[in-house]
Amino acid sequence: MFELIRNHRRWMQFILLILIVPSFFLVGIQGYDSFISREPELATVAGQPITRGEFDNAHRNQLENFRQRLGSRYDPALVDTPAMREQLLNQLIDQRLLAQVAQDNRFSVSDSTLRNTIASIPQVQDNGRFSPERYRQVLASQGMTPTMYEAGLRSDLAIGRVLQPVAESATAPAAVTASLESALTQERTVQLRRFAAADYRTQVSVSPEDIKTWYDANQQQLTVPEQVTAQYLVLDEAAASQDIQVKDEDVTGYYEQNKNRFGQPERRRASHIMIQVAAGASDADRQAARAKAESLAQQAAANPAGFADLAKANSQDAGSAQKGGDLGWMASGMLTGDLNKTIFSLNKDQVSGVVESPSGFHVIQVTDIQPASAKPLAEVRDEIVAEIRKQIAATRFAEMATKLTEIVYDQRDSLQPAADALGLKIRSVSGITRQGLLPADKTVGANPASASSDAALLDNPRVRESLFSNDTLREKLNSGVIELSSDTLLVVRVAEVQPQHVSPLDKVTESIRERLTNERAAEAARKAGEDALKTWSADAASLPEGFGASITVTREQPQQLTAPVLQAAMRLPSQPVPAYAGAVDGNDYVVVRLDKVEPGKVEAADSELFSRQLSAAWGDAESAAIMKMLREQYQVKILPEAANAIKGSDDPESAAG
Q: Tens digit of pLDDT for each residue in 338-349?
A: 999 999 999 999
Same domain for 574 and 538: yes
pLDDT digits (tens, 9 = 90+) for 429-478: 999 999 999 999 889 889 999 999 999 999 998 899 999 998 899 989 99
Same domain, 205 and 308: no
Interval 297-324 mean pLDDT = 93
Q: At what angle do helices 307-314 and 283-302 cross, to 10 degrees?
A: 150
Same domain (yes/no): 145, 195: no
| pLDDT range class, residue 650, cuts 50, 70, 90 | low
**Domain of 518, in residue numbers:** 187-210+509-598
Is position 611 within any domain? Answer: no
User: Domain boundary at 343, 371, 399, which?
Assistant: 371
Residue 625 placed within a domain? no
Q: How, if at all, do strands 579-585 and 588-598 pair?
A: antiparallel
Is 653 inside any structural domain?
Answer: no
Q: What is the pLDDT of residues 240-259, one digit of tens each?
A: 988 888 888 988 888 888 87
pLDDT surpassing 50 at residue 138: yes
Partner residues linked to 596 by β-bridges: 189
Of 114-123, 225-234, 591-600, minimum mean pLDDT range:
114-123
Q: Look at strands 427-432 and 227-236 and give their pairing.
A: antiparallel
Reported as a single tens digit per residue, the pLDDT across 61-77 is 998 888 888 876 777 77
How many domains would you assign to the chain?
5
Q: What per-residue confidence (pLDDT) applies to 155? A: 87
Q: Residue 49: enclosing H or E segment and its boundaries?
A: strand 48-51
Whether 322 and 430 share a structural domain: no
User: Does residue 258 lie in a domain region?
Assistant: no
In a domain, residue 219? The reply is: no
Considering the domain architecture, whether residues 301 and 406 belong to the same structural domain is answered as no
What are the distances in angstroms from CA 183 to CA 176, 190, 554, 575, 600? 11, 16, 9, 15, 9
Residues 396 and 465 in one domain: yes
Please indicate, yes or no, if residue 447 is contained in any of the structural domains.
Answer: yes
Q: How confident is the model at residue 630 (pLDDT cuts 50, 70, 90)?
A: very high
657 within a domain of the structure (yes/no) = no
Among 499, 534, 553, the domain-final residue is 499
Instruction: Say yes or no: 273 and 363 in one domain.
Output: yes
Summarize the confidence of residues 28-39 as an average pLDDT: 49
Q: What is the CA radius of gyration of the chain?
A: 39
- Which has more pLDDT, 30 or 336? 336
Return the minimum-mean-pLDDT range out of 384-393, 519-528, 583-592: 384-393
Classify each residue of 259-296 as buried b or exposed e, where b means 16 or more C-beta atoms within 10 Å of its C-beta.
Answer: eeebeeeebbbbbbbbbebeeeeeeeeeeebbebbeeb
* Phi–psi pair at 108, nearest 5 degrees: -140, 170
- Count CB atoms within 10 A of the CB of residue 253: 13
Asked if residue 107 and residue 141 are part of one domain, the reply reads yes
Query: Are 432 and 327 within one domain?
Result: no
pLDDT band at 27 (very low <50, low <70, confident <90, very high): very low
Q: How far apart are CA 531 and CA 220, in angstroms?
A: 35
Distance CA 68, CA 31 (A): 42
Q: Nearest Cα to 46, choosing from 104, 98, 97, 107? A: 97
Cβ atoms of 43 and 636 closer than 8 Å:
yes
C-alpha angle 234-236-237 in degrees, rounded to nearest 5: 155
Degrees, nearest 5: CA angle 311-348-303: 45
Identify whether residues 162 and 196 lie together within a single domain: no
pLDDT score at 5? 37
What is the DSSP-derived secondary structure letter of residue 200? Answer: G
In a domain, 448, yes or no: yes
Q: What is the pLDDT of residues 154-174, one digit of tens each?
A: 888 888 888 888 888 888 888
Contact 364, 351 (CB under 8 A): yes
Q: List, as one string, the DSSP characters of 254-318.
A: HHHHTGGGGEE--EEEEEEEEEE--TT--HHHHHHHHHHHHHHHHHHHH-GGGHHHHHHHH---T
DSSP-derived 3-state class of residue 231: strand
Four-point Cα dihedral 508, 510, 514, 515, nearest 10: 20
8 A C-beta contact, residue 232 and residue 416: no
CA 133, 134, 135, 137 torsion: positive or negative? positive
Residues 335 and 405 in one domain: no
Question: Please, are residues 120 and 109 in contact by the beta-carbon 8 Å criterion?
Answer: no
Pick from 99, 116, 88: nearest CA to 161: 99
Q: Are residues 158 and 51 in the same domain?
A: yes
Query: Is the full-model pTM beyond 0.85?
Result: no
